[in-house]
C-alpha cells in the first residue's frame, strides 16, 4: 500500500540524484548553465523525472532552454514534461517553438498530437499526427495514436483503419490487436472484436484487458475487472477525465450523493474519518469534504491521484486496491463513498462486506451503480467493460453484510452516445 502525502508535504531537490548538480547548481535562484555538459544536464533532467522529481526536471529544462536556445532538445523535453504534469497549454507553447524551427521533424508533430489529444482538441490532434505520418509513414506508434484520436472523437471506423495499419507494421504488439477489437466493438462488430481480442491473447495469454473485454463481449462472469486493466484505463484518461465526465457525459453523481447524505443524515453530523473509494480526480470528494474532518482518497491509478492531489480536498491519498485498504482499517470509518466504484467490481457482495467491516457502528455508505433493468441477472458484465447491477442485487449485498437500507433512488447517471443511462443511488448504514 503506497500512501501519497499532499503536495505541500513533498520535498524536491536536484542534489538527491547525482553529483552532476554541482556543475549546474551555482549561486542564486536561476544561475546560467551555458558551458556545462548539455547532454549530461539533459540526462539529469530525464532522470529527475523518472525518480518522481518532476518540478526539478522542469526547472532544469527551463534553464537549458533559456541559456542554450540553439538546442531544440531542452524545449522539446520541457514540453513533454509539462504535458505529463497536466500543463498542456504551456506544453504546446514550447512544442510550437520547436516545430517552428524543425517542421521537418516527425517526432515533434507526433508529440503535439498527443498534447492536443489530452486537451480533447481532436481535430488538431489528428492534423498533427497526420503531419507526422507524412514525414514518417511507417511508424506504427503514430498510426496507433491516430487511432486513439479518431476513437475518442467518436469515429471508430477511422480508428479501425489506423489500428489495422499499426498492426500491419508491427504484428507482435498485443495492444494493436486489443484496440482493433475495441474499435470493432464500438461499431457493433462483435465477431471482429472477438477475433482481435483472441489475437492479443495469442501473443500475451495473460493480457488483462483482452481477457476481460472478451468476457465482457460474452457477457459472462461477475469477477472484478483486473487491476491492471482499471489502472491502465484511468491513467490513460486522467488528463481529460473530469471535464469529459461533467461537460460531455452530464455526470451528476457527486451532487446526487451529497443531496442524499444531506437528506438522510442530520445536518450537524460530521464524519471524523471518511474515505472516497475509487476517488478518481476527486469530483465526489469535493462534494462531501465539508462534512468530513479527515478525508482519504483511494485509487489504483497514479494519474488520477495526482489530479486529486491538486484539487486539495483530501487529507490523504492512498494508491492501492480498495479491498486491501478496507481490510487494513476495520471498525474505523464513519463514511464510505463509492461513486462509480461498482462499475468495475462485478458482484457487490465481497466489496460491500469489506466496507461493512471497515465502518464503525452507525457508519454510512453512499454509492451508485449503473442500473440493470429488464434482465434476469442481478449483475451483468456489458460489452463496454462496465458492470450493471439490479436494485435487488444492491439489497442482497446490504442484507448479507448486515447493513440497513436507508434509501435507494433511481436517477440519471451519465450519457452514453445519444442516451442517458439510469443509475441507482443508495445510502446504507451499519447498525448502532
* Grid cell of 98 as nine digits: 520547436
Cβ–Cβ < 8 Å for 203, 175: no
Q: How confident is the model at residue 13 (pLDDT cuts 50, 70, 90)?
A: very low
Q: Where are the domains of the chain?
A: 13-102, 230-429
* Grid cell of 54 as nine digits: 518532476
Q: What confidence tens digit (pLDDT) does each residue in 224-256 have?
A: 777 777 766 666 554 555 555 544 556 788 999
List, in order, residues 6 or more apart from 210 with CB less than 8 Å away: 174, 177, 178, 181, 197, 200, 201, 204
Torsion sign (Cα): 398, 402, 408, 413: negative
- Top pLDDT among 5 and 286 is at 286
Q: Is the pLDDT of residue 206 over 50?
A: yes
Q: Distance between CA atoms of 347 and 331, rounded to whole angstroms?
A: 23
> Of the candidates 381, 394, 385, which has an alpha carbon nearest to the alpha carbon of residue 423?
394
Q: How confident is the model at residue 29 (pLDDT cuts 50, 70, 90)?
A: very low
Convert 80-96 to b/e letters by CB count within 10 Å (16 or more is b): bbbbbbeebeebbebbe
Q: How confident is the model at residue 20 (pLDDT cuts 50, 70, 90)?
A: very low
Q: Distance between CA atoms of 106 and 129, rounded to whole angstroms?
A: 9
* Grid cell of 224 as nine digits: 472484478
Query: Fold for domain 13-102?
Result: 1.25.40
Q: 3-state DSSP: the chain helix, strand, coil percent, rounded to 5?
A: 55, 15, 30
pTM summary value? 0.64
Cβ–Cβ < 8 Å for 15, 41: no
Write down the CATH superfamily of domain 230-429.
Answer: Vaccinia Virus protein VP39 (3.40.50.150)
The one-character DSSP state at 53 is: -
Q: Do domains 13-102 and 230-429 have the same CATH topology?
A: no
List, in order, residues 6 or more apart from 172 with CB less than 8 Å away: 203
List, in order, residues 6 or more apart from 11 with CB less than 8 Å away: none
E-strand ranges in 2-137 read 2-4
Looking at residue 221, what is its pLDDT?
Answer: 63
Q: Distance between CA atoms of 397 and 418, rounded to whole angstroms?
A: 32
* Grid cell of 150 as nine digits: 479518431
Q: Distance between CA atoms of 101 and 93, rounded to whole angstroms?
A: 13
Q: Cα 67–69–75 angle (5° rounding)?
A: 100
Q: What confidence tens digit (pLDDT) does each residue in 85-102 have?
A: 888 899 999 999 999 989
Q: How confident is the model at residue 9 (pLDDT cuts 50, 70, 90)?
A: very low
Query: Which of 28-37, 143-152, 207-216, 396-405 shows the lowest mean pLDDT across its residues?
Result: 28-37
Cα 415 from chain centroid? 19
The one-character DSSP state at 251 is: -
For residue 420, list its beta bridge partners. Answer: 415
Amino acid at each position: 500500500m503506497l500512501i501519497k502525502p499532499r503536495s505541500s508535504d513533498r520535498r524536491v531537490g536536484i542534489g538527491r540524484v547525482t553529483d552532476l548538480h554541482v556543475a549546474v547548481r551555482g549561486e542564486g535562484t536561476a544561475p546560467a548553465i551555458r558551458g556545462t555538459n548539455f547532454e549530461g544536464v539533459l540526462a539529469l533532467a530525464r532522470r529527475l523525472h523518472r525518480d518522481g522529481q518532476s518540478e526539478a526536471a522542469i526547472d532544469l529544462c527551463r534553464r537549458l532552454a533559456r541559456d542554450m536556445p540553439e538546442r531544440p532538445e531542452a524545449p522539446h523535453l520541457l514540453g513533454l514534461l509539462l504535458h505529463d504534469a497536466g500543463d498542456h497549454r504551456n506544453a504546446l507553447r514550447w512544442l510550437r517553438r520547436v516545430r517552428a524551427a524543425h517542421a521537418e521533424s516527425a517526432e515533434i508533430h507526433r508529440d503535439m498530437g498527443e498534447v492536443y489529444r489530452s486537451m480533447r482538441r481532436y481535430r488538431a490532434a489528428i492534423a498533427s499526427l497526420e503531419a507526422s505520418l507524412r514525414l514518417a509513414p511507417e511508424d506504427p506508434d503514430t498510426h496507433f495514436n491516430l487511432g486513439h484520436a479518431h476513437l475518442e472523437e467518436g469515429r471508430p471506423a477511422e480508428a479501425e483503419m489506423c489500428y489495422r495499419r499499426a498492426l500491419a507494421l508491427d504484428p507482435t504488439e498485443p495492444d494493436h490487436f486489443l484496440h482493433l477489437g475495441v474499435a470493432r466493438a464500438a461499431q457493433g462488430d462483435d465477431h471482429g472484436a472477438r477475433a482481435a481480442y483472441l489475437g492479443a491473447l495469442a501473443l500475451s495469454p495473460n493480457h488483462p484487458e483482452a481477457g476481460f473485454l472478451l468476457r465482457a463481449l460474452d457477457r459472462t462472469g461477475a469477477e472484478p475487472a483486473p487491476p491492471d486493466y482499471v489502472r491502465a484505463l484511468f491513467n490513460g484518461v486522467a488528463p481529460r477525465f473530469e471535464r469529459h465526465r461533467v461537460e460531455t457525459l452530464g455526470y451528476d453523481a457527486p451532487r446526487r450523493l451529497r443531496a442524499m447524505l444531506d437528506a438522510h443524515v442530520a445536518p450537524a453530523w460530521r464524519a471524523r474519518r471518511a474515505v472516497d473509494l475509487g476517488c478518481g480526480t476527486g469530483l465526489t470528494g469535493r462534494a462531501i469534504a465539508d462534512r468530513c474532518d479527515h478525508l482519504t482518497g483511494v485509487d489504483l491509478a497514479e494519474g488520477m491521484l495526482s489530479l486529486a492531489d491538486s484539487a486539495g480536498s483530501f487529507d490523504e491519498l492512498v494508491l492501492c486496491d480498495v479491498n486491501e485498504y478496507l481490510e487494513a482499517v476495520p471498525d474505523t470509518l464513519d463514511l464510505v463513498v463509492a461513486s462509480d466504484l461498482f462499475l468495475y467490481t462485478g458482484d457487490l457482495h465481497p466489496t460491500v462486506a469489506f466496507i461493512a467491516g471497515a465502518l464503525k457502528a452507525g457508519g454510512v455508505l453512499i454509492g451508485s451503480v449503473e442500473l440493470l433493468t429488464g434482465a434476469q441477472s442481478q449483475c451483468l458484465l456489458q460489452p463496454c467493460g462496465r458492470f450493471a447491477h439490479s436494485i435487488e442485487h444492491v439489497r442482497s449485498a446490504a442484507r448479507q453484510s448486515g447493513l440497513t437500507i436507508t434509501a435507494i433512488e433511481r436517477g440519471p447517471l451519465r450519457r452514453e452516445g445519444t442516451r442517458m443511462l439510469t443509475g441507482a443511488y443508495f445510502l446504507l448504514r451499519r447498525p448502532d
